[in-house]
Structure 1
C-alpha cells in the first residue's frame, strides 16, 4: 500500500486541510514543528513556491499563513528558547537523508 499513488484531487484536498489546520493552530510555534517534525509552515510555503515556479517565497508564505508572514510573526511567533533551537537542529539533521 505504501506504493499507492495519490490522485492530484486527493493530494490537493489533504494539502488544503493541512494548511487550514496550521492556520487554525497558531498556538503551535514553527520552532516546535521544526523540533518534532523537521518542517514548519515556512518550509511548506517554500515547497509551494518551488512547486509553482512563479510564486515568491513571500507570496507562498502568505498563502500558507493566511496573512502576510510579518503580520503572522508579530501576532503568533515568540522568541525561540535555547532548548527549542537545540531540538530543531537535531530534528532538521534527520532531514538530510530525505532531500
Structure 2
C-alpha cells in the first residue's frame, strides 16, 4: 500500500470514529470512555489540535473541540453531557492514578 492511500484510509477511519462518537453514541459519556479506554472525545480533539500545531496551524483547545464536536463545548454539554455519578468519579480517580502512575 502506498503512503497516500494509507493516509486516506487512516483519515477515513478517524472520520468514522468521530461520527460514531458524535452522532451514533452521544449516550456514552466522556468519563466512561476515560474509565474504560483511557481517552475520550476531548483527547481526540486535543490530538487534532496538536497535529495542527505541529504543522504550523495556530489552533487553540476551544477551536479544536468545536471542530471535533461540531459545536461548542457549551452546546455539547447542554445537549448530551450528564452529571458524573459518584461511582464514575471514583472509577476515574482509580483509572487516572493507574494511567499516570500516581496512587495518591
Q: Sort the TM-score into its range (normalised by shorter chain).
A: 0.7 to 0.9
Distance 2:9 2:73 in 1: 27
User: Contact between 1:33 and 1:39, CA under 8 Å: does it hold in 2?
Assistant: yes
Aligned length: 92
- In structure 2, the gaps of 5 or more residues are none
> Normalization by structure 2: what TM-score?
0.79
Give the superposed CA RMSD. Answer: 1.8
> Does the 8 Å CA contact 1:39/1:92 hold for their aligned counterparts?
no
2:16 corresponds to 1:12: no
| Mapping 1:1-99, distance limit 5 Å | 7-24=6-23, 25-53=25-53, 54-96=58-100
| Runs of 4+ deviating beyond 4 Å | none
Residue segments in structure 1 that go unaligned for 5+ positions in a row:
1-5
Q: Higher RCO, 1 or 2 (CA under 8 Å, sep at least 6)?
A: 1
- SS at 1:43 equivalent: helix
TM-score (norm 1): 0.82
- Computing the radius of gyration from Cα coordinates, the structure with the larger value is 2
Kept in 2, the 8 Å contact 1:61–1:69? The answer is: yes
- Partners of 2:80 and 2:27 lie apart in 1 by 7
